[in-house]
């Protein structure tokens, strides 16, 4: 039961982590304003997934903000760099993956901050995770702390001494298995979530990129069958 | 004469301040990558001005990034709130103007950071000014310092210990008259620059909004005639 109806902006990619984050924000009594970015990524399937999840979770409003990061070039998720497959996911945690998108979370959080200020929401939720992808600079706790300090100074609330806008990262130190466990406890239907870096045109996951491997292991460790479809029988 | 050709990302609105900032970055020997936002503002004239200025200044590349802040609502520059006219510009410095756009500079700097990372540029220039509009939270030196600390942690360079991306604010403590003086010394042609919050459809400035009043006084204090056109004879 919601304790109150505090507004929260939730960054929703349509993936497993952000969907779990949305469910956590909701379970804490927030009314949800979901924010998804259409940033020229190759997998538009994610945006469709985000729309289904937002509808299913009964969000107050879902904005899909179109921004074109392709103009700047430089990432596997927005241009034609090859997505690595069948890598050993236990050995990749200290390098920056080629799938890194420059300043992505900084841009996403900045839009969330703008929306929070307009809606008079005091809370922003983002599903960053420092364990699985510690190679991403903008998934680390020290980055989030620095963003919070900047946000405190960037906004009207900061100047006027009102309650600040707090950035919540409920998944930041959880393993993929712990995230899935939490989501299953909250009744998340993972069949809509999209994780794969390079799904087929009809939305089937590849099963071999880093993201797919981490996801599959997370479900396996929960003794739960991943409900999404994969290209090949795994 | 440029000392070298270091790359710099310059935020270029097409206004007087950002145009002067671009000229300063160029005079310091940078090759210029100019970044303008088409964010659903009412005065599209500014974007045309930015294109003219970028061409005139011989930038390496000019990106006009389209982002739609109107989806979030909430500001005089993006929605239908009345722009104040004929206010006493000496008495407005400690309130947040209705023309404040939530998190605007945070969003703009975040795109600049992404582009800097892709281009391997170590410098970002932004023409914020703390004196004329101290009411804007995201024009204050303490905000810029916090943004810099966040940016140091957000980027690959920060993680890998390479040279950081530095945010430069050459106008931050200058008066409008000092900014214009600097620009005139650098040969800036201010006839293309757009400042007015509510210009006519053909691009004539109103002469009465806060921005016009500050601009006109800045030129007057330099004993220089503002070369742009105003709606009424002033």
Domains belonging to chain B, first-starting first, are 6-221 (3.40.50.620)
- Taking any CB pair shorter than 8 Å as contact, residues of chain A touching chain B are 63, 65-69, 71-74, 96, 100-107, 110-111, 113-115, 117-119, 137-138, 140, 142-143, 146-147, 149-156, 158-160
The confidence score (pLDDT) of residue B192 equals 87
The number of C-beta contacts closer than 8 angstroms across A and B is 141
Name the residue among B69, B113, B140 with its Cβ closest to that of A114: B69
CA atoms of B41 and B53, how far apart (whole Å): 19
Mean per-residue pLDDT, A21-25: 98
- For residue A160, the 8-state DSSP code is H
Biggest distance spanned by C-alpha atoms of chain A: 57
pLDDT of A5 higher than 60 = yes
pLDDT of B28 higher than 70 = yes
Q: Provide CB contacts within 8 A for A185, sequence distance 6+.
A: none
CA atoms of A198 and A203, how far apart (whole Å): 9
pLDDT of A192 higher than 90 = no
pLDDT of A181 higher than 50 = yes
pLDDT of B39 higher than 90 = no
Q: Provide CB contacts within 8 A for B97, sequence distance 6+.
A: B76, B84, B133, B135, B136, B210
Give the three-state DSSP class for B38.
Answer: strand
The confidence score (pLDDT) of residue B163 equals 78
- For residue A89, the 8-state DSSP code is T
CA neighbor of B154 nearest in space, from B145, B164, B139, B167: B164
Give the residue, A187 or A2, on which the prediction is more confident.
Answer: A187
Write out chain A residues lying below 8 Å of B73, CB-based: 118
Query: What is the token pair recorded at A228?
Result: 């999404």
Q: Any bridge partners for residue B66, and if so which?
A: B38
pLDDT of B212 higher than 80 = yes
CA neighbor of A36 nearest in space, from A6, A66, A8, A78: A66
At residue B131 the predicted structure's pLDDT band, cuts being 50, 70 and 90, is confident
Mean per-residue pLDDT, B63-72: 84
pLDDT of B2 higher than 50 = no
CA neighbor of B96 nearest in space, from B134, B135, B132: B135
CA atoms of B39 and B70, how far apart (whole Å): 8
The confidence score (pLDDT) of residue A82 equals 66
Q: Look-up: residue for tokens 């760099």? A: A81
At residue B87 the predicted structure's pLDDT band, cuts being 50, 70 and 90, is confident
Name the residue among A117, A150, A160 with its Cβ closest to that of B147: A150
Mean per-residue pLDDT, A39-63: 87
CA atoms of B64 and B44, how far apart (whole Å): 12
Cα dist from A9 to A155, A211, A223, B61, whole Å: 15, 25, 32, 35
The per-residue DSSP string of B145-183 comes to: HHHHHHHHHHSHHHHHT-PPPEEE-TTTT--HHHHHHHH
Given the cut 0.90, state whether the ipTM is greater than it: no
For chain B, the distance separating the N- and C-terminal CA atoms, rounded to the nearest angstrom, is: 39
Mean per-residue pLDDT, A28-43: 87
Give the residue, B181 or B74, on which the prediction is more confident.
Answer: B181
pLDDT in tens, A90-131: 765 556 666 677 889 999 999 999 999 999 999 999 999 987
pLDDT of B83 higher than 70 = no
The confidence score (pLDDT) of residue B201 equals 78
Given a contact cutoff of 8 angstroms between Cβ atoms, the answer to whether B103 and A117 are in contact is: yes
Q: Which pairing describes strands A30-38 and A6-11: parallel, antiparallel, or unpaired?
A: parallel
Q: Any bridge partners for residue A34, and if so which?
A: A10, A62
CA neighbor of A84 nearest in space, from A183, A195, A169, A197: A197
The confidence score (pLDDT) of residue A27 equals 97
Given a contact cutoff of 8 angstroms between Cβ atoms, the answer to whether A150 and B147 are in contact is: yes
């Amino acid at each position: 039961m919601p304790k109150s109806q505090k507004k929260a902006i939730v960054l929703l990619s349509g993936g497993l982590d952000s969907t779990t984050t949305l469910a956590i924000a909701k379970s804490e009594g927030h009314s949800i304003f979901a924010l998804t970015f259409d940033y020229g990524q190759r997998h538009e399937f994610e945006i469709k997934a985000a729309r289904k999840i937002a509808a299913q979770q009964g969000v107050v409003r879902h904005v899909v903000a179109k921004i074109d990061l392709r103009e700047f070039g430089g990432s596997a998720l927005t241009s034609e760099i090859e997505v690595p497959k069948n890598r050993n996911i236990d050995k990749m945690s200290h390098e920056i993956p080629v799938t890194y998108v420059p300043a992505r979370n900084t841009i996403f959080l900045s839009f969330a901050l703008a929306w929070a200020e307009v809606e008079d929401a005091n809370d922003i939720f983002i599903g960053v995770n420092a364990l699985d992808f510690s190679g991403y600079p903008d998934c680390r706790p020290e980055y989030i702390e620095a963003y919070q300090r900047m946000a405190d100074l960037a906004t009207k609330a900061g100047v006027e001494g009102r309650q600040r806008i707090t950035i919540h990262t409920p998944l930041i130190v959880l393993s993929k298995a712990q995230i899935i466990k939490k989501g299953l406890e909250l009744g998340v239907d993972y069949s809509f979530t999209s994780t794969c870096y390079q799904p087929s045109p009809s939305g089937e996951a590849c099963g071999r990129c880093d993201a797919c491997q981490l996801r599959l292991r997370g479900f396996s460790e929960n003794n739960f069958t991943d409900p999404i479809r994969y290209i090949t029988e795994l």
